[in-house]
Structure 1
Amino acid sequence: MDILLHIKESNEHAFEQAFRQWHEKVYAYHFAKTRDESFAEECTQLTFIKLWESRHLLNADLPLEVQLFRIAKTTLIDQLRARLRDNRRLQVIRNLSGQSQEQPQYEPDCSRRIAFALDSLPPTRKKVFMLNRVHGLTYKQIGEELSISDRTVEKHISLALKQLKKILNLVF
């Protein structure tokens, strides 16, 4: 019986066999795209985790290799997006706290302080701010999503920045 069908039936031995067979190639794919050993290893591990978690959704008509590399590609994209989101959040934190790009990492409880400051915003203002500064949506996209005007979005962002700066100056 095909290894794919065994994996679909939750056969751990078949999964281990697939892992041994494809680990190096999946890692090489991730490393070629990122040139970062630890990031490539993380993406590779996540790829195989997703393969196991979605084993019941595997298509018996497609080769395992094709499906595995689709998972690898989407995992890489997801992880790169997460890394970009994290970098944006860090940049927001740096901007709000007045840090420059060259300064060392912020103190360990900084994220707790940022969370406190964000939680102090009114709900709509916080949502608008997060959609723009963390998720990268444009004023127009936010306006459409929340059924408010672009000008209202701009006002929420402006007020949020003023409020956050004031709060962060008190706690930093």
Structure 2
Amino acid sequence: MEHIRAIKEDDQRAFQQVYACYHARIYGFILQRTKSEYVAEEVTQLTFIKLWKQRGILSEQLSIDVQLFGMARQVMIDVLRKEATRFKYEGEFAETPFTNSLIDAIESKDLLQILERDIQNMPKMRRLVFELSRKQGLSHKEIANIFSISPKAVEYHIGKALLQLKQHLYSIML
């Protein structure tokens, strides 16, 4: 948490320490999901740029890795959306940094609509907890207070939601 406070106070040395500590981990995280070195490099750099730009709104209640990996996920989604749109308007598949399976998933299955439909088909409580967490960015404690449940119950619902989405995505990526 001390790194967060220091970064919020414009401490470039603390930022450099976080960068040195997490750069390879973020890169590996994105590479594992996209199978593209280009996307992994791009997303990693954009994630740290976003961290610096949004340093004033970092939460001191969440660890730096949770916030950083959350940013990386969002940046990855943004980059993939932009690439999907670019492919759609180009009308052909030139050489791309993506694997064929990822391009196929984005182009032929409209991945975002599938995810949204899966979310809407979740049991009501699971869907509400998941949307408050992932779409509105509320903490587990905040969600627990809203529904008068324990933070562990919130974790359970989010875990089940993520598992459901991952299983479905895995099945369509094959």
TM-score class, shorter: 0.5 to 0.7
Q: Structure 1 stretches (4+) deviating beyond 3 angstroms?
A: none
CA drift of 1:81 comes to 0.2
* Partner secondary structure for residue 10 of structure 1: coil
Tell me the equivalent position of 1:83. Answer: 83
**Which structure's CA Rg is the greater one?**
1
Aligned equivalents of 1:39, 1:69: Cα separation in 2 = 15
Tell me the equivalent position of 1:71. Answer: 71
| Matched letter for residue 54 of structure 1 | Q
Tell me the equivalent position of 1:49. Answer: 49
CA RMSD of aligned residues (A): 2.2
Residues 65-105 of structure 1 show CA distances to partners (whole Å, capped at 9, x for unaligned) of 000000000000000000001001101xxxxxxxxx48x79
TM-score, L = length of structure 1: 0.53
TM-score, L = length of structure 2: 0.52
Q: Would you say 1:28 and 2:28 are equivalent positions? A: yes
CA drift of 1:54 comes to 0.3
* Partner secondary structure for residue 6 of structure 1: helix
Q: Aligned residues: percent identity?
A: 37
CA drift of 1:42 comes to 0.5
Aligned equivalents of 1:19, 1:56: Cα separation in 2 = 17
* Partner secondary structure for residue 60 of structure 1: coil
Residues 128-149 of structure 1 show CA distances to partners (whole Å, capped at 9, x for unaligned) of xxxxxxxxxxxxxxxxxxxxxx
| Matched letter for residue 79 of structure 1 | V
* Structure 2 stretches lacking a partner, 5+ long: 96-174
| Matched letter for residue 84 of structure 1 | A
* Partner secondary structure for residue 75 of structure 1: helix
Tell me the equivalent position of 2:142. Answer: none
Aligned equivalents of 1:76, 1:63: Cα separation in 2 = 20
| Matched letter for residue 68 of structure 1 | L
Structure-to-structure mapping, 1:3-18, within 5 angstroms: 3-18=3-18
Aligned equivalents of 2:14, 2:55: Cα separation in 1 = 11
Aligned equivalents of 2:26, 2:58: Cα separation in 1 = 18
Residues 24-54 of structure 1 show CA distances to partners (whole Å, capped at 9, x for unaligned) of 0000011001111111101000000000000
The alignment covers a number of residue pairs equal to 97
* Structure 1 stretches lacking a partner, 5+ long: 92-100, 106-172
* Partner secondary structure for residue 61 of structure 1: coil
| Matched letter for residue 59 of structure 1 | S
| Matched letter for residue 72 of structure 1 | A
Aligned equivalents of 1:16, 1:33: Cα separation in 2 = 25
Structure-to-structure mapping, 1:1-172, within 5 angstroms: 2-91=2-91, 101=92
| Matched letter for residue 65 of structure 2 | E
